[in-house]
Structure 1
Amino acid sequence: MSEFALHHVPARRHAPFLQDAASTMAIVVLGAVGYFLFPEDLAFLTRLIGIAFLVLSLDLVTGYCGIATLGHAAQFGVAAYAVGIACVRGVTDPLALLLVGVFAGTVMGLISGVLIARFRGLPQLVLSIAVGQLVAALANKLQGLTGGSDGLSGISPGKVLGLYNFDMYSRTAYLFSLTVLIIVFVALSRFVRSPFGLMCRAIKDDDLRARMIGVAVYPRLIIMFGVSGAVAGVGGALTAMSTGVVGLDSVSFERSAEVLVMLVLGGAGHLWGALGGAIIFMIFEHIVAAANPFHWMTLVGLLLIGIVVFAPKGLIEPVLTLFARIGGKGRAS
């Protein structure tokens, strides 16, 4: 082995650990900024984290598998309703409710995957919309469970670890959600770099070639839908616990379309793109809607047009290019 190779083997071996550590530190820094600089907006930031989980879950099937879907909010909403129903009926431990959300989201994800992943192109997109609309119709119809158009209220989770109450300022909810985000983000970073995640990227690039080399495409897509549902379920569970109410908006077509816009804004196929897109879109929407309640959608539309024209691969792509150039200069020197 050459001297160059011997020098770089340890670096390659520790690269995943360094990436995970950098991701953890970045999220901690962003979370600390939100907690200390915007203490009066913690409820909004907690809701942002919940939606960020939904965008991350959408990135798994759209960015990494190339599956077009406009009904992804179904997984988020089903988990939120499941957590709300469980909490109202006596399950109040936040960790137990989180597991309920993960389970409900996973089941809904697998059901969606079985139906949607079998098709390609326009039929796939239409079927995803149909699944989302069916879930929304059931949520509206089953008033005894979901509260119908009035929503499911009275969700009061217990103390986190038996110590910390969900206070009215959302401090506990924010810190709890931020901790879960760090854990899930690091786990997803490892997952998308695994052989399974890399094979899903290959399926996205050329599913026919993947089949030709013996890859079972359909089962892998179903599994990815299940993982995606679990991530969306985490977001739904956290949102239900932090807001105390679940409404039809959690399973609406508008929610599915909105998170797809966030993913396009940040950049599909990159976890940081999904997370960054959610942060930028929701903060921009929050500020603009407060400044101009009547025409804020126009400004959001102009932002999206500018992103699509000048950064068609999302805002993450210029950032990655910049880091690559900095890294190249560092190695050259």
Structure 2
Amino acid sequence: MSDPSANNTGLDGARAWIMRQGRWSPFEVAFWLAVFIPFFFFPTYLTLASQIAIAALFVLSVDLILGYAGIITLGHAMFFGLGAYAAGLLTKTGWGEPLTGLLISGAFVALVGFLVSFIIVRVQHLALLMITLGLGLLTMELANSMSWLTGGTDGLQGVSVWPIFGTFDYDLWGYTAYSYTLIVLFIGVLIARRIVNSAFGLSLRGIRENLNRMPAIGAPHQRRLQVIYTISAGMAGVAGALLTQTTSQVALDVLSFQRSADVVVMLILGGTGRLYGGIIGAIIFMVARDQLAGINPQYWYFWIGILLMIVVLVMPKGILGFLAQIWERVRR
């Protein structure tokens, strides 16, 4: 017979762990203070900084399903691209208000993600990889063939976004775009932080580690995976809508396999299953791409491949995981 006191002790331990994880660490505070550096020291790179913030939100959405729930994907650009097109097409109807456009685009993509999740939760491993890849490729070809709606290979033109709150228009230097994307990224991190540092987040980790054992302890894994997949899709859709609103155009490559692959590379670089791992990976990848493309426009991806190989061989848990290991050794 099980000891009730032992069960209560386990629950108390879990609650204490969740409370500790929920506290803001000095690293997090320092990170969010550092995001203001481009405003003062690198104002000419604010456009790049806004692109990094969008990429970071996209990577965060992938980390929720890959790093925490163990759902492998190679087609998450489908949701990113659908969000981008939804925001663009919304402005074509005459409604260019950015905040409501962001919410509508995110809600629409979350609904698509919910419908897709019924397929995703029923397959694993290689089949899951192929299904996500296939869905991404099908969506891109569908957008390409529906040129009357999406613009096809020419992209969606004539996107007109209103000033934020009717006051803050997008300036040439990117001050408004970076501020806007940074605030949305912060809200996305708060939501993700609340999810992963909760009982629901713990159950996702349990599903990732041992899918078959979770139902035995009363955790319906399919329902939980559907929930996190829907949230992840909506977050990716918001990231795509941000790209449309800050660039006033939608290119067909928002749905490309290359974008799905890039986001996985960013996540591996920073470290999966770590809230800020994907964000750090996005910063490193985007800055490296910008600098390397300036040095060698044709072969810059070669050096990205070298960087990825070094990280995988030397730091298998990603850059943030490697730094965390060093910090633990220093503390001991």
> 2:69 is matched by which residue type in structure 1?
C
Q: Which amino acid aligns with 1:219?
A: R
Greater Cα offset, 12-21 or 114-123 = 12-21
Counterparts in 2 of 1:114 and 1:175: CA distance versus 1, 3 Å = same
Q: Is the 8 A contact 1:153 1:245 kept in 2?
A: yes
- Counterpart check, 1:111 vs 2:115: yes
Structure 2 counterpart of 1:291: 295
- Please point out which of 67, 73, 81 is paired with 1:69: 73
Q: Is contact 2:272-2:317 (8 Å) kept?
A: yes
| 1:322 to partner: Cα distance | 3.0
Q: Paired residue for 1:315?
A: 319
Match of 2:250 among 226, 232, 246: 246
1:273 is matched with: 277
Q: 1:161 matched to which residue of 2?
A: 165
1:175 aligns with 2:200: no
- Give 1:220's aligned amino acid: R
Instruction: Identify the residue that residue 3 of structure 1 maps to in structure 2.
Output: none
Residue 241 of structure 1 aligns to which amino acid in structure 2? Q
> Once structures 1 and 2 are overlaid, which stretch shifts more, 252-261 or 154-163?
154-163
CA gap of 1:26–1:114, structure 2 versus 1, over 3 A, is farther
Query: CA–CA distance in 2 between the matches of 1:13 and 1:151?
Result: 45
CA 14–117 in structure 1, closer or farther in 2 if over 3 Å, else same: closer
Q: CA deviation at 1:27?
A: 4.1
| 1:217 aligned onto 2:234 | no
Query: Where does structure 2 lack aligned partners over 5 or more consecutive residues?
Result: 1-15
In the alignment, structure 1 segments of 5+ residues that lack a partner are 1-10
Distance 1:85 1:20, change over 3 A: farther
Q: Which moved more, 1:260-269 or 1:140-149?
A: 140-149
CA contact (8 A) 1:203 1:217 kept: yes
SS at match of 1:167: coil
SS at match of 1:67: coil
Against the structure 1 CA distance between its residues 56 and 73, is the aligned structure 2 distance closer, same or farther, given a 3 Å change threshold? same
Residue in 1 that maps onto 2:95: 91
For residue 37 of structure 2, what is the aligned residue in structure 1?
33
Aligned residues: 317
Aligned AA (1:122) = L
2:195 corresponds in structure 1 to 191
**If the length of structure 2 is used for normalisation, what is the TM-score?**
0.91
Deviation at 1:196, TM superposition (A): 0.8
- How far did 1:12 drift? 7.6
Using the alignment, how far apart are the partners of 1:58 and 1:12 within structure 2?
24
Equivalent position amino acid for 1:322 in 2? I
Runs of 4+ in structure 1 off by over 6 angstroms are 11-14
Pick from 264, 269, 287 the counterpart of residue 268 of structure 2. 264
Hey, what does 1:19 align to over in structure 2?
24
Q: Secondary structure at the match of 1:208?
A: coil
AA of the residue aligned to 2:218 = G
Paired with 1:193 and 1:151, the residues of 2 have a C-alpha distance of: 40
Moved more, 94-103 or 197-206: 94-103
Distance 1:132 1:59 in 2: 18
Length-normalised TM-score, structure 1: 0.90
Q: Distance in 2 between matches of 1:156 and 1:253?
A: 27
**What does the per-residue CA deviation read over 1:200-236, in whole Å, with 9 as the maximum and x for residues that have no partner?**
1100000111022222111111111111012111211
Match of 1:8 in 2: none
**Structure 1 equivalent of residue 205 of structure 2:** 201
Instruction: Tell me if 1:44 matches 2:87.
Output: no
* Aligned 8 A contact 1:166 1:242 in 2: yes
Secondary structure at the aligned position of 1:245 is classed as: coil
SS at match of 1:119: coil
Structure 1, residues 235-291: CA drift from partner, whole Å, max 9, x if none? 111111001111111111111011011111111101111111111111111111111
Partner of 2:59: 55
Over 3 Å counting, the alpha-carbon distance change for 1:178 and 1:122 in structure 2 is: same
Paired position in structure 2 for 1:120: 124
Query: Identical aligned pairs, as a percentage?
Result: 37
